[in-house]
Structure 1
Amino acid sequence: MRKINLHLGDFTEKSNVKLVPRYYGEALCRLAERNEKIVALCADLAPPTETDLFRDRYPDRFFMMGIAEANMVGVASGMARMGDVPFVHSFCVFLTRRAYDQVAMQVAYPKSNVKLIGFLPGLTTLLGVSHQAIDDIALMRALPNMCVIEPCGPEQIDSAVNAAMDYDGPVYLRLNRAETELSSDTKIKKLDIGKVEITRKGDDLVIFACGIMLRKAESAAQILSESGIETTVVNVHTIKPIDDQKICELVSHCGATITAENHSIIGGLGDAVSKALNEKNISIAVNRVGIKDSFAEGGSTPYLLNKYGLETQDIVNKALKVLKQNIKVSYTSIKNDIP
């Protein structure tokens, strides 16, 4: 077995840390400059959620609520009823698990125009089970009226923030902070709520991915291409409402299907794609890359992604497996039934 060191340098060692642009914080400030209704609430996590930028520029519109997420969500709901547009910030796991009843009863149920901004998705933290949001998409998907968005990286954060603002109703925005600066030739990605983005086209296999797993899916597609397997890769940045029609079209064309997510395979992207196919009676082999039915542990992100099967090679292995199971069906008989 290959030996992997549990590297803690990204948490304990600060001497070699390079300054990375804070793409979310800057995007929120640009939005707030144009719209005075925007307010920011934070649960004692201003620097980790990049809201210290907002605090310093708009101190009268920034509210530090302390480590009291449930109360913060309730306050945000009240502010929304008075005409503000609250952006509410904490770590993903605290906004969802800890404040779930308040999110359900005071945000989702009344369709409050509250934007819930969560950081540290899935296994992107070494702080252990208490901080690892492996079920947040499942929790937010289950709430009526809730929109769930996860941009693929810093190149899509600005578009995600603007899309959340333009959406009339509650939004859960799942963010991973950038670890490196975008190169000068990086194209800013659009984000249209409810529409997928096709980043690569092929006829043999389709991979639906969200968040940090998109780049890994694209790398897996390149490896598969070298073996003569051509893959369509899809950025599913909006997990609810999901693009059922395009998903069904792509699966019916390619046949074999993989989903890849930094989340439990229960209740997340994989289940959303499977549900879309099932409701249209599309019988296709689907294999999911994600966290199995288990909690994780403390460790650096590379260590955790490798241990829990969320690396590029894991996607390649799943793809080869699902191709053997593939049974193509015609889409023509059902496409007219898709709304």
Structure 2
Amino acid sequence: MKPQELSRRQSKYTARSVPQGERVATSAMIASLDAEGRDTIAAPFGHALVDIAKTREDIVGLTADLSKYTDLHVFANAYPDRFYQMGMAEAVMISAAAGLAREGFTPFATTYAVFASRRAYDFIIMAIAEENLPVKIVCALPGLTTGYGPSHQATEDMAIMRGMPNLTIIDPCDAVEIDQATRAIADTPGPVYMRLLRGQVPNVLGEYGYQFKLGRAQVLRDGCDVLFVSSGLMTMRTLDAARALQKDGVDCAVLHVPTIKPLDTETIIAEASKGGRLVVTAENHSVTGGLGEAVAATLMRAGVHVPFRQIGLPDAFLDAGALPTLHDQYGISVSAVAAAVKSWL
């Protein structure tokens, strides 16, 4: 079966046109972190996928009962005949995505990060990664982006996924990068795991003229005292912390690392080798098995010996509660990041 031969089938979604310039609304329940006081963009992943699908009939979307909560409902509304609602069955969704990929489609499969990394791992590795199929697994609620407790907090997803051969791993910072990364991974051979901020997502990187490059880290600001090496949500936090620390006379650089695998070791080594700076990794993930340990191993193998610290979530099951409180408690708020850096200098 060819992509253009995709048969029509019944769906609760019906195609509808959207006036020029208008964006489909997202669930009122959903608000991304750090949105207050910032410009935001609604559902950047869903809208980017719709735009890609206009010229690519191979693009299809699947979800495990979470279309509204991964912004895939935007795609479902635009292309109901290319959307598959698989129910609460992540393993089935992954297996179906693998089958569609074998038939020439490029499936985007969405769920929460905990469900992809914990429940569906074996199916991803055996049905998708081993055969190097072009399935894109896009997952909401990465790290500590929900207060629902360990059942929904994907604090170890990158550690789990980093050990999988053939898999590209992306941890985008904001709406600008989600849009750009979605387009990039659609053209990338092989499987991809991408973390997702959903709903009203802040526009942070727009002021930097940022352009996502798969596999490349990029310096967003320079500084002579501290080098932050960060990914995802924590790049927002390190940029804000750098501005706060500047007022106290601490000059901070920020190296944004959106591609966790393959890691841009060349840029990380080059930046860390610029003498006299404390290197601080920052990630919305456990300090075990994520960006911090990947950077530390990179520097050790290269013989780069610098002062080094990690900011991340503890190797523990985290509490449930209000996110601002939890972020302060676990050291990933802006104020906590700034205070930690000052204590290390």
Q: State if a TM-score over 0.5 links the two structures.
A: yes
- Which consecutive unaligned segments of at least 5 residues does structure 2 have? 1-27
Separation in 1 of the partners of 2:56 and 2:209?
A: 22
Report the alpha carbon displacement of residue 187 of structure 1 after superposing the two structures with TM.
6.2
How does the TM-score come out when normalised to structure 2?
0.85
1:297 — aligned with what? Answer: 319
1:122 — aligned with what? Answer: 143
Task: Choose from 65, 68, 77 the match for 1:47.
Answer: 68
Report the alpha carbon displacement of residue 224 of structure 1 after superposing the two structures with TM.
2.2
94 and 217 in structure 1: CA distance in 2 versus 1, 3 angstrom threshold: same
Cα deviations by residue, 1:214-268 (Å, 9 ceiling, x for unpaired): 1210122122222322111011111111110110111110431001111100011
- Tell me the SS of whatever aligns to 2:274: helix
Which one is further off, 293-302 or 193-202? 293-302
Whether contact under 8 Å (2:44, 2:201) holds in the other structure is no
244 and 131 in structure 1: CA distance in 2 versus 1, 3 angstrom threshold: same
1:224 — aligned with what? Answer: 245
Task: Choose from 279, 296, 316 the match for 1:274.
Answer: 296
Report the alpha carbon displacement of residue 156 of structure 1 after superposing the two structures with TM.
1.2
Q: Alignment RMSD, CA only?
A: 2.2
Separation in 2 of the partners of 1:198 and 1:169?
A: 27
Task: Choose from 80, 83, 96 the match for 2:117.
Answer: 96
Report the alpha carbon displacement of residue 312 of structure 1 after superposing the two structures with TM.
1.6
2:3 — aligned with what? Answer: none
Listed as ranges, the matches of 1:1-339 within 5 Å are: 21-179=42-200, 182=203, 186=207, 189-254=210-275, 255-323=277-345
Separation in 2 of the partners of 1:12 and 1:219?
A: 23
Whether contact under 8 Å (1:154, 1:178) holds in the other structure is no
Whether contact under 8 Å (1:285, 1:322) holds in the other structure is no
321 and 193 in structure 1: CA distance in 2 versus 1, 3 angstrom threshold: same
How does the TM-score come out when normalised to structure 1?
0.86
123 and 71 in structure 1: CA distance in 2 versus 1, 3 angstrom threshold: same
Count of aligned positions: 310
Whether contact under 8 Å (1:155, 1:187) holds in the other structure is no
55 and 196 in structure 1: CA distance in 2 versus 1, 3 angstrom threshold: same
Aligned identity (percent) is 37
- Tell me the SS of whatever aligns to 2:177: helix
- Which consecutive unaligned segments of at least 5 residues does structure 1 have? 1-9, 324-339
Q: Which runs of 4+ in 1 moved over 4 A?
A: 10-13, 180-183, 185-188
Separation in 2 of the partners of 1:94 and 1:22?
A: 21
